[in-house]
Structure 1
Amino acid sequence: MEFCDDCGSMMKTDDDVWVCGSCGAEKPRDADSEAAMTSTAEREDSEVVDMSDVDEAEIGPTTTVICPECGHDSARYEMKQIRSADESETRFLTCVECDHKWREDDH
């Protein structure tokens, strides 16, 4: 990923140059520096992590919340920033009883 030196926006590739979608600035691509970058395609090919031998206590914190699937009152949760930085984080929950997954956003 490359960022524009002029305005700080994320740049996209166009043949042998990086082009800023916001201000139109261009800079030449450098094969050596790009070799160190990780692409989305490389991350998608990663192996599936086997969590079957992991102790429940090591998976993450729990909270008191009613599962919409089974009604159990406890779930593991993880907070992730999936929207822009000025928006609140999204809480992803997994029921400790039935493993139902859902998310909660602030509205």
Structure 2
Amino acid sequence: MLLFCPTCGRLVTLEEGFKQFKFVCGACGFKMPIGGEIRSRLYPRLKDIDDVLGGPSAWENAQQTEERCPKCEHERAYFMQLQTRSADEPSTIFYRCANVDCGHRWKD
């Protein structure tokens, strides 16, 4: 949780005083004592794999290969290669089953 000074708008920091914590602005000297417990949790939404690969339309131009789907055993799949790690690591291959009824996705 980020708090900003109501006087100058800069980020305030947490400072420990005598038996009490307070928010303090290093620029203008604003101080706000903390009377209770402060908690904040933020759980960011994980991106769907389609968002990472370029959206749902990214599969429209993907090439097909003879890769067996682990879910429905269909013989063909669409594939894309992306560099997801550092340059000295091999590319990650993403697959999507070519069976319209399945559409299962996996990576290699």
User: Larger strand proportion, structure 1 or 2?
Assistant: 1
Measured against the shorter chain, the TM-score band is 0.3 to 0.5
TM-score calculated relative to the size of structure 2: 0.44
